[in-house]
Amino acid sequence: MRAITLDSNQDSRLLLAEVQTRNLQPGEVRVMIKAAALNHRDEWCRKGLYPNIQDGVVLGSDGAGIVTEIGEGVAYDWLQKEVIINPALNWGENQKVQSSSFEILGIPRNGTLADSVIVPVDRLYDKPAHMTWEEAGALPLAGLTAFRALTYQGEIQAGENLLVTGFGGGVAQFAVQFGMALGANVSTSSSSPAKLERAKAIGVSKTFNYLDHNWITKALEETNGFDLIIDGAVGDTLNHLIQVAKPGGKIVFYGATLGNPNKIEARKIFWNQLKIMGTTMGSDLDFKNMISLVCEKKIQPIIDQVFKFDQAEEAFDRMRDGMQTGKIVLVP
């Protein structure tokens, strides 16, 4: 089968190669991929930022397709079913935190950027009927991350003020859409006027350009602060978020692309009784509940651009450069 693999001998560190597939183990299925999508995790893997990365591994965590083969012990009615794949493996029984054996599809085991992928059957869910293949393939990782950040960690309630930073990325766009579906008053931020206009077009009530020197003052004047803030950057911008959080508010971060803050407004945190917490992916229950919300509200992922497998370098570079608004999808 064809697959997008890591290859350190290539300038792009990517190679569309013929890869030998294996036989199924009991409880496994083979899914013919109809659409897959990129996450920043894939770019970090390309850069070699994960430990023990080896050439030849097939990248990709997001995917949707058709079950073409079933292993021993798998119910026959899975055959030819249209499915999406939960890329979170071995979360464990503790809803609060993942187990020590937790892993994400796409490293160390082969991922979805291939003609087909082998996964345990318990990772499969019916493809939402209202979605195209490209939309379904874009949903899993970022959708799961956003849903857990909002619900289990953030405990968002209808009528609360929600700020999602960095609109344009996958998790942020899902957090915005899910927040609106759950009845929150949703605001978002970006340095791109075009991305903020896109946010307004899907119904975001207030937008803020964080390059404006007065955006914090403007946000407080227009919203009176935020009950929940979802962020993936951290760095010194964490102190800006502390300033716009309501007393008793929460800040949930799912990434730290700007690294650690050089200083932190500790007094404001304890005096305003803020809660700052991290979140990673989500449990099987989170994924199930996320799918239920998506189907009930007919939520459709924002697709930035669709590429063929042989355009993988262009797709990765677009994500690396932060050009996207929504998910970047690849199809065989």
Which residue, among 131, 169, 155, has the nearest Cα to 41 in the 3D structure? 169
Do 135 and 155 lie in a common domain? no
Question: In the prediction, which pLDDT does 263 show?
Answer: 93
CA distance to 75, 100, 212, per residue, from 207 (Å): 48, 39, 12
Of 208, 192, 234, the C-alpha closest to 321 is 192
Per the domain annotation, does 283 fall within a domain?
no
Tell me, what's the pLDDT at 9? 86
Q: Could you state, in chain order, the average pLDDT of each consecutive group of 10 residues for the chain (332 residues)?
A: 92 92 97 98 88 88 98 98 98 97 93 98 98 98 98 98 94 98 98 94 95 96 98 95 98 94 95 98 98 98 97 96 94 97
In a domain, 194, yes or no: yes
Contacts of 253 (CB under 8 A, 6+ apart): 230, 231, 232, 233, 234, 238, 276, 277, 278, 279
Residues 127 and 151 in one domain: no
Three-state DSSP class for residue 217: helix
Do 104 and 198 share a structural domain? no
CA distances from 324 to 173, 252, 274, 330 (A): 11, 23, 32, 14
Residue 49: the pLDDT is 82
Q: Output the pTM of the full model.
A: 0.96
Nearest Cα neighbor of 140 from 130, 128, 154 is 128
**Structure confidence at residue 107 (pLDDT):** 86
- Residue 321 structural domain: 2-139+301-331
- How far is 167 from 208, CA to CA, in rounded Å? 10
d(CA 239, CA 230): 14
Tokens at 90, concatenated: 């071995």
Q: Do 123 and 154 fall into the same domain?
A: no
Q: What pLDDT score was predicted for residue 145? A: 98
Same domain, 180 and 62: no
| CATH number for the domain harbouring residue 264 | 3.40.50.720
Q: Give 167's strand partners.
A: 169
What SS3 state is found at 94?
Answer: coil
| Residues 28, 108 within the same domain | yes
